[in-house]
Amino acid sequence: MKRHQAIQDTELPPLPPNPTDDAVESSRPMQEDYFGFQAFDTFEFPDGLTWIKFKKMNEGDKAKFQKTSSRDLVLERQSGNARMKVDPGGDRHALIIECCVDWNLKRGPQREPILFSERNLREFLALANPQIVEDLEKAIRKFNPWLMAEMTVEDIDREIDNLKEMREIAEARELGKSSSSDK
């Protein structure tokens, strides 16, 4: 019997690249990683320099927010009345605290940078211009579309009324500017 000698891999010449390998590989769909969901956006302040970075909520963030913003419904058996405590300011703050992840805020006459932390964010929310806080909330809600789906018709009507009132104020202000410039 003749014995066959084993050939080592190093003795074989390398195979030439197959040009169809890349084409076949790139035409196959790549399965997504559904555990790695992360998306961020930035809210820019009116000065164009200051910003707050916020995230799109994943399911865990959503559940945590809904737990902090849920309300108990109390039904009074004798009268048949129903009561529910509503705290729009608390809900707004809970949403912002859950979503904001970074900022470049500065404070004081020396414009010292403020380190981002939940404690500093809470202080900012307590002391900030309410219009900026509302604008930040709207940006976060737009970036998290499921939040808009939770708005009731009454919430939407309230927003429409607020916008109409803001429009009237802006019109009056602009009319005042034009009449003072005519003089």
What string of pLDDT tens digits covers the 183 residues of the chain?
544 444 444 455 666 666 555 555 668 899 888 887 789 999 999 999 999 999 998 887 777 877 777 665 566 677 766 665 555 657 889 999 999 999 999 999 999 999 999 999 999 999 999 999 999 999 999 998 887 776 678 777 777 887 788 888 888 888 887 666 655
Q: Can you give the pLDDT at residue 125?
A: 96
Q: Can you give the pLDDT at residue 169?
A: 87
- Measured CA to CA, the distance from residue 10 to residue 82 in angstroms comes to 82
- Measured CA to CA, the distance from residue 177 to residue 145 in angstroms comes to 38
Q: Which domains does the chain have, with CATH numbers?
A: 40-167 (3.30.2220)
Q: Can you give the pLDDT at residue 60?
A: 79
| Phi, psi angle pair for 75, to nearest 5° | -105, 120
Q: Can you give the pLDDT at residue 4?
A: 45
Q: Can you give the pLDDT at residue 22?
A: 55
Sign of CA dihedral 173, 51, 118, 120: negative
Contacting residues for 75 by C-beta, under 8 A, at least 6 apart: 81, 82
Cβ of 57: how many Cβ atoms within 10 Å? 22
Task: Give the SS3 label for residue 159.
Answer: helix
DSSP string, 157-173: HHHHHHHHHHHHHHHHH
Q: Can you give the pLDDT at residue 156?
A: 76
Tell me which residue has tokens 């579309």. Answer: 145
